[in-house]
């Protein structure tokens, strides 16, 4: 079977189709170094550098490959284990952040993630407002969020915490785990088919590394740390950035993903309750601040929507509007703006009503 090996690395038919028959080598980015990338091809690991043309035509940083990307490479005869990356295939999902020290440049820190685990510790770190922000980022990325409440062993009122989280989760799955207990963490990957790519998002210290290590198992971890000879002198591979777990699920764990700023996102999914209400506001562009006929504020007055949730929504929207001022990302409308998605939502509601009438 063609691409048997790459299928283990997450190759899906859509990428295979996009790759076409051009005679270029299909590969997935597994590590990003300064100007070079480690890639997995059907025939094993290679090094790649982007072609001059790709770099020249790149409008911005997001056009460059990121860990998780599927790329097409040229492997010139006699070039050994390195090649030239000519194309980045369209992404199914992407996590972006503003590059350090710049106001404008947006970088992709992980691409083609299927499921993102939003990690929050049940003690100390527990904060529903932050979770709402993570959910916005997740829905904006194109990956499906799953909420993982960590350090369950330290929590003495799990049901109450679960209930609170469920009230803001907007349909995302919620689970709890403990990396310290023998059977406390394996269920995190339940229902996620082999070949899926996952990533972990959450504050420092919530236990992401510990969980990944437990899922990885000691044996595999040890081999991940062996010294390798890449032809440019020996170096230590601290850890892979795209990791194949024993059960066949792939994990993307890049430094960028860990430093992800919460300045992008899709509020319409994480606040779908407010979206539904907003569809009934008198003005289509209602900001739910002072406008008459605001269905959102009416719901708060009736006690059906928590004022804290509306507050949180407003705060997040302001932050995102602010981020939009200096982010090209928003200019390109990659992330749908709230009003746009409200419009869409209203249209959907209208269509649904029309259908029901028939
Ligand atoms: N009690 C308890 N402690 C845990 C659990 N998981 C992790 N820890 C501890 O929490 C601390 C932080 O864990 P890490 O895995 O390094 O956290 P992280 O989210 O990867 O943090 P960064 O690497 O900074 O992003 C460590 O001391 C772990 O031993 C858990 O399930 N229960
Ligand atoms: Zn309103």
Question: How close is the Cα of 149 to the center of ligand 1, in Å?
Answer: 12
Q: Is 119 labelled as part of a ligand binding site?
A: no
Question: How close is the Cα of 210 to the center of ligand 1, in Å?
Answer: 5
Ligand 1 contact via 258 beta carbon (within 6 Å): yes
CA triplet 174, 177, 179: central angle to 5 degrees? 150
Ligand 1 contact via 207 beta carbon (within 6 Å): yes
Give the ligand with the smallest distance to the CA of 148.
Answer: 1
Ligand 1 contact via 204 beta carbon (within 6 Å): yes
Query: Per mean pLDDT, which of 206-210, 296-300, 332-336, 338-342 is the most reliable?
Result: 296-300
Over residues 141-152, the mean pLDDT reads: 94
**Ligand 1, atom nearest to 258 Cα:** 25
Split at pLDDT 50, 70, 90, the class of 52 is: very high
H helix or E strand, kind and range, residue 103: none
CATH number of 4-90: 2.40.50.140
10 Å Cβ neighbour count for 201?
25
Question: Where does CATH 2.40.50.140 sit in the chain?
Answer: 4-90
Question: Where does CATH 3.40.50.300 sit in the chain?
Answer: 110-258
Ligand 1 contact via 113 beta carbon (within 6 Å): no
CATH number of 110-258: 3.40.50.300
Q: Position of tokens 């106001």? A: 103
Question: What does the alpha-carbon distance between residue 217 and residue 205 come to, in Å, rounded to a whole number?
Answer: 20
CA 293 to the chain's CA centroid: 37
Facing residues of 97 across strands?
Answer: 107
Split at pLDDT 50, 70, 90, the class of 336 is: very low
Question: How close is the Cα of 240 to the center of ligand 1, in Å?
Answer: 19
DSSP per position, 268-319: HHHTHHHHHHHTTSSSTT--SSS-TT-HHHHHHHTTSS-HHHHHHHHHHHHH
248 and 8 Cβ atoms separated by less than 8 Å: yes
Q: Is 294 labelled as part of a ligand binding site?
A: yes
Q: Is the pTM of this model over 0.80?
A: no
**Ligand 1, atom nearest to 206 Cα:** 19
Beta-carbon contacts of residue 6 (< 8 Å; ≥ 6 apart): 26, 27, 28, 40, 41, 42
Q: How far is CA 348 from CA 72, 162, 276, 286, 334, in A?
A: 38, 31, 11, 18, 20
Instruction: Provide the pLDDT for residue 334.
Output: 37
Instruction: Provide the pLDDT for residue 64.
Output: 93
Q: Is 202 labelled as part of a ligand binding site?
A: yes
Segment 166-193, tens digit of pLDDT: 988 888 999 999 999 888 999 999 999 9
Segment 154-166, tens digit of pLDDT: 998 999 999 999 9
With a cut of 80, say whether residue 313 has pLDDT above it.
yes
């Amino acid at each position: 079977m063609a691409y048997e090996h790459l299928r283990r690395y997450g190759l899906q038919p859509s990428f295979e189709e996009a790759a076409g028959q051009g005679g270029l080598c299909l590969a997935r980015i597994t590590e990003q170094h300064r100007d070079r990338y480690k890639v997995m091809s059907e025939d094993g690991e290679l090094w790649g550098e982007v072609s001059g043309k790709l770099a020249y035509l790149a409008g911005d940083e997001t056009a460059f490959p990121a860990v998780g990307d599927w790329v097409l490479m040229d492997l010139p005869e006699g070039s050994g284990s390195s090649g030239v990356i000519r194309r980045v295939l369209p992404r199914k999902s992407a996590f972006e952040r503003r590059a350090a020290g710049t106001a404008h440049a947006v970088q992709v820190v992980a691409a083609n993630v299927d499921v993102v685990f939003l990690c929050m510790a049940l003690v100390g770190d527990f904060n529903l407002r932050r979770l709402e922000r993570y959910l916005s980022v997740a829905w904006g990325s194109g990956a499906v969020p799953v909420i993982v409440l960590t350090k369950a062993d330290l929590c003495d009122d799990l049901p109450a915490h679960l209930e609170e989280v469920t009230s803001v989760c907007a349909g995302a799955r919620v689970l709890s785990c403990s990396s310290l207990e023998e059977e406390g963490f394996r269920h995190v990957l339940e229902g996620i088919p082999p070949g899926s790519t996952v990533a972990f998002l959450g504050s420092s210290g919530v236990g992401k590394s510990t969980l990944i290590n437990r899922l990885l198992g000691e044996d595999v971890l040890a081999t991940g740390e062996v010294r390798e000879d890449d032809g440019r002198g020996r170096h230590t591979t601290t850890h892979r950035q795209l990791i194949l777990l024993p059960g066949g699920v792939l994990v993307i764990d890049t430094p960028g993903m860990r430093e992800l700023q919460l300045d992008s996102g899709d509020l319409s999914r994480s606040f779908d309750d407010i979206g539904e209400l907003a569809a009934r506001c008198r003005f289509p562009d209602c900001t739910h601040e002072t406008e008459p006929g605001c269905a959102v504020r009416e719901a708060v007055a009736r006690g059906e929507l928590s004022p804290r949730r509306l507050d949180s929504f407003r705060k997040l929207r302001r932050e995102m509007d602010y981020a939009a001022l200096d982010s090209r990302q928003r200019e390109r409308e990659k992330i749908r703006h709230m009003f746009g998605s409200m419009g869409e939502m209203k249209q959907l509601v209208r269509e649904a009503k029309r259908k029901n009438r028939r």
